[in-house]
Amino acid sequence: MLASDPAAQSRLPRPEIAQVRPIGHLPCGTEVHAISLVSGRFAAQIMTYGGTLQGFWVGAQNIVLGYATLDAYLGDQTAYLGATIGRLGNRIRDGRFTLHGVAYQIGVPQDQGLHGGPQGFDKRIWSISQVTETAVTLSLVSADGDQGFPARVAAEVTYALTAEGLEMTHRAVSDAPTPVSMTNHAYLNLGGAVADHVLQLNAAQYLLPDAQGIPVGAPRPVEGTAFDFRTPKRIGEVLDGVDPQIEARGGFDHALCLDGEGMREVGGLSLPGGVSLTLWTDQPVTMFYTGNGLGAGTSKAEAPLRARAGLCLEPQAYVDAINRPDFPFNLTTPDHPHLSRIAWHFGH
Q: Residue 2 pLDDT more than 70? A: no
**Cα–Cα distance, 169 to 163 (Å, whole number):** 16
Q: Residue 67 pLDDT more than 60? A: yes
In DSSP notation, 315-332 reads: EESPTTGGG-TTS----B
pLDDT (tens digit per residue) in 69-128:
999 999 988 899 999 999 999 999 999 999 999 999 999 999 999 999 999 999 999 999
* Contact present, 146 and 55 (Cβ < 8 Å): no
Instruction: Report CA 159 to chain centroid distance, whole Å.
Output: 13
Report if residue 210 sits inside a domain: yes
Report if residue 23 sits inside a domain: yes
Q: Among 33, 185, 254, 338, which one carries the catalytic annotation?
A: 185
336 included as an active-site residue: no
Report if residue 241 sits inside a domain: yes
Structurally, how many domains does the chain consist of? Answer: 1
**Cα–Cα distance, 7 to 24 (Å, whole number):** 22
Average pLDDT of the chain is 94
The pLDDT value given to residue 4? 42
Report if residue 317 sits inside a domain: yes
345 included as an active-site residue: no
263's CB contacts (< 8 A; 6+ apart) are: 280, 281, 282, 341, 343
| Nearest Cα residue to 68 out of 141, 120, 147, 11 | 11
Instruction: Report CA 310 to chain centroid distance, whole Å.
Output: 12
The pLDDT value given to residue 28? 96
The H-or-E segment that residue 104 falls in is: strand 102-105
Report if residue 130 sits inside a domain: yes
* Contact present, 295 and 305 (Cβ < 8 Å): yes
Report if residue 1 sits inside a domain: no
The CATH number linked to 157 is: 2.70.98.10
Report if residue 181 sits inside a domain: yes
Report if residue 2 sits inside a domain: no
**Cα–Cα distance, 166 to 342 (Å, whole number):** 8
**Cα–Cα distance, 84 to 90 (Å, whole number):** 12
pLDDT (tens digit per residue) in 8-54:
555 799 999 999 999 999 999 999 999 999 999 999 999 999 999 99
Domain containing residue 205: 7-346
Query: pLDDT band at 348, cuts 50/70/90?
Result: low
pLDDT (tens digit per residue) in 267-308:
999 999 889 999 999 999 999 999 999 987 765 556 668 999
What mean pLDDT is predicted for residues 215-230? 97
Q: Among 33, 115, 314, 338, which one carries the catalytic annotation?
A: 314
* Contact present, 144 and 324 (Cβ < 8 Å): no
